[in-house]
Chains A and B, each alone.
Chain A
């Protein structure tokens, strides 16, 4: 029971259902398959960035440059396409840049030992500046239609990008459950010193986490360019903060070692659903941030109270066991306590 209570994914999923039911009651149009699909479709970018960010937070780090990496990759993709580079090659180039950007963070954090927030804050400025320098500060307005095609390509009635994201989510979830090296992310975040003593390659694991964060921001950039069809200079602006919010909302713990791709999925869809819900409730768009922020605060507060209640309950249970064993004058009382 307490395990279910402690599962933040479930708590937030429950909140999501309540929210959707409530909005559906007020405006039944909200419950149409079309609008639900729309929410899913518009959550993809945030969702992918959040999964990348999750790897970093699992290792007890933080990456505030992912939004800038998204913007930079999007610009690279746009410029390459407009220069006549073939689509697969341009996409590859954008992904390569995002991986490189992630690797720069990784080098600073693992080898130069710069604290993650400082390193990524620094590169946030650098990448955003590079983005402006490459384009000269003006938007990339025209994007060839060949990439926009993918945004509207339906397979079995569902958009291609939704399928793609689904596959990515399944793969990462499976990897983090079954693949031993992927478990290292949890080990390093939970107890870095312990992981080192167990011969886990801590530096390589950290390196991989920041590189993956870059890669996922790059994938999100490709979807961004395809869906939006142009690249404004604000592309990805503040996306890092939304991604962290989505992760935390879904149950990824900033103290490291706790979370799953499912957390990122639930958190990202929730935040996007809030935006859509406000539209259906005819609340002006500029309230999105206020509601999103309040929900994040409420969720972490609720989570804190639940955790504390569970801890108190466990303590009382232990105390009860101890009392009982004292009563029986059991000499091995301390061993029983652990039960």
Chain B
């Protein structure tokens, strides 16, 4: 039991948890309002969309794939929701359809990845452009077909502010909560628990690691590679669509370019969370902690008066520093293991 506790202390996730606590304390020391729990919880709504996209992306990266199209699926699901609502459908039915569109978009990626040998980066790069383009083009297309997609204010107003005037009950998704806990945070936690169980407690999760380590071996050992990959990209599509819905509610308007700037942060979170870009390594808890770490860092930097221009510099530099440290740590451990092995073999002689 004791050794297990010690082992936990050495994990990447524990390191992240310590960093997170330290970060909150340091930022709190500089600006005490940061330590207010209600504030802290409320401010998570600013970056829950990052987590919703990053959590399922972790699964894809574990399978040695990548999906950069999520940022476009966010906009696609947002505009789908808005357009269907404008057409007179109940906003929550529209929400459901938007999520389904996200899953279908993800399945498209997954089917393409699973049935060809084309690099997933190329495939999702293509679909990044395609989904973004469809999201941008849909309102104009409907307009040309004579369907007023933008409400009373006219097309020009739509181009400027998106589809606004969504029902209050829908806007409550991002602005309401249970007690001090905002709904988006609850959605993130439920999604994380679901993905965590899927990844760490089911056969599906073990398949993902196996595919990530050696896809050929997985195929030969009868792992259903194709359906596993399609499912995992579909999950990523679902996460991105959820993010799109939450963002729509947060900004109280549906736009086709929502989430466009999030790509760097999303991948930073997954990598900082301990996932190996070459596959086979990663955990949901790690991504979750890294998401809070980066999210609060951004908040904290802004709160202590750093301009928003500097934030990407810090996040980018952090990403590189963390990976360099991790590589150094890994090579140090490897050297120690080698030395131990050497000692054992000498003693045996």
Contacts and interface: CB of A to CB of B under 8 A. Distances in A.
Interface of A: 62, 108, 112-115, 117-119, 121-126, 128-130, 132-133, 136-137, 241, 244-245, 248, 254-255, 284, 286-294, 296-297, 300-301, 304
A122 B126 contact: no
Interface residues of B, number: 44
B96 interface: no
A301 B111 CA distance: 12
Interface in B85-121: 112, 116-119, 121
7 contacts: A114-B324, A118-B271, A118-B320, A125-B312, A129-B313, A293-B125, A297-B127
Nearest to A305: B116
B116 A245 contact: no
Determine chain A's interface SS by DSSP, over half rule.
helix
A290 B133 contact: yes
Given A254-B121, A301-B112, 9 more contacts: A114-B323, A118-B319, A119-B323, A125-B317, A125-B319, A290-B136, A296-B122, A297-B123, A301-B118
Interface in B129-146: 129-134, 136-137, 140
B117 A114 contact: no
B312 A289 contact: no
Contacts of B132: 289-290, 293
A137 B125 CA distance: 28
Contact of A129 (B125, B134, B316): B316
Contact of A115 (B129, B130, B278, B314): B278
A313 B134 CA distance: 38
Contacts of B316: 121-126, 129
B324 A112 contact: yes
A292 B133 contact: yes
Contacts of B327: 112-114
Contacts of B324: 108, 112, 114
A239 to B, nearest CB: 13
Contacts of B130: 289-290, 293-294, 297
A124 B129 CA distance: 19
Interface string B241-281: 00000000000000000000000100110010000011000
A287 B323 contact: no
Interface of B: 66, 112, 116-119, 121-123, 125-134, 136-137, 140, 264, 267-268, 271, 277-278, 307, 309-320, 323-324, 327
Contacts of A288: 133
A123 to B, nearest CB: 6
A105 B126 CA distance: 25
B160 to A, nearest CB: 14
Query: Which 9 A-B residue pairings sit nearest by Cβ, starting from the closest?
Result: A290-B133, A125-B316, A293-B129, A293-B130, A289-B133, A129-B313, A132-B309, A125-B312, A286-B136
B88 to A, nearest CB: 25
A126 B114 CA distance: 34
A67 to B, nearest CB: 12
B312 A128 contact: yes
B140 A62 contact: no
B136 A289 contact: yes
Give the residue among B126, B127, B313 with the most A Cβ atoms within 10 A: B126
A108 B322 CA distance: 12
A115 B314 CA distance: 19
Given A126-B316, A289-B136, A300 B126 contact: yes
Given A118-B277, A126-B316, A286-B136, A241 B310 contact: no
A304 B134 CA distance: 25
A312 to B, nearest CB: 14
Contacts of B116: 300-301, 304
Nearest to A255: B119
A323 B312 CA distance: 63
A244 B125 contact: yes
A133 B277 contact: no
Contact of B315 (A125, A137, A294): A125
A123 B309 CA distance: 14
B307 to A, nearest CB: 8
A284 B277 contact: no
Contacts of A289: 129-130, 132-133, 136
A290 B309 contact: no
Given A133-B309, A290-B134, A290-B136, A121 B319 contact: yes
Nearest to A104: B320
B63 to A, nearest CB: 16
B136 to A, nearest CB: 4
Contact of B317 (A113, A122, A244): A122
Give the residue among A113, A122, A130, A132 with the most B Cβ atoms within 10 A: A122
